[in-house]
Amino acid sequence: MQTRLNPYLSFKDNAREAMEFYKTVFGGKLTMSTFKEYHASQDPSEDEKIMHSMLEAENGITLMASDTPNRMEYIPGTNSSMSLSGDNETELRTYFEKLSAGGNVTMPLEKAPWGDRFGMLIRSINGEMCHERATPASATKASKTGASVSKISGPKVSR
């Protein structure tokens, strides 16, 4: 798979509802995985929260989202990022390193429980916070790489 850049949205507790809504808009294949499935919940109340979801429409639109775990602060308005993904780990690592320059790496790019490499960082560009994530694309059920700029909303879906 070639390298792709996609919107990645973060929700408080309604990623499932939001992604089901977007599926009605864009169609396509929707996959969702919970924190429990990846043994990543630190609190039983997080078990059914969405750790990663991905909607892939037939026309090439790809949208990813997750719920924010209880241990992480959720601030409305800062809940979108971009996901950079692909099969070329060297290319992704290079992008991550370049994006890291002058940024704050919040999770180093390293092997994740689902098998891929995953990393996150935050940058400030002209005062706007950007969240970057980076991983190879072999885990279709897991998170990838990104930066916050895009915002997508739909009716009755609070972010």
Residue 149 in any domain: the answer is no
Mean pLDDT of the chain: 75
Chain segment 2-53, per-residue pLDDT in tens: 777 788 888 889 999 999 988 998 899 999 999 999 888 888 999 999 999 9
Decide: residue 43, CB within 10 A, 0-12 exposed, 13-18 middle, 19+ buried: exposed
What is the pLDDT confidence band of residue 135, given thresholds at 50, 70 and 90?
low
Domain count, the chain: 1
Residue 155 in any domain: the answer is no
Q: What is the CATH number of the domain that holds 101?
A: 3.10.180.10
pLDDT at residue 134, as a whole number: 59
Residue 153 in any domain: the answer is no
Range of the domain at 23: 4-136
Residue 156 in any domain: the answer is no
Decide: residue 101, CB within 10 A, 0-12 exposed, 13-18 middle, 19+ buried: exposed
pLDDT at residue 154, as a whole number: 27
Rounded-to-integer distance, Cα 150 and Cα 80, Å: 6
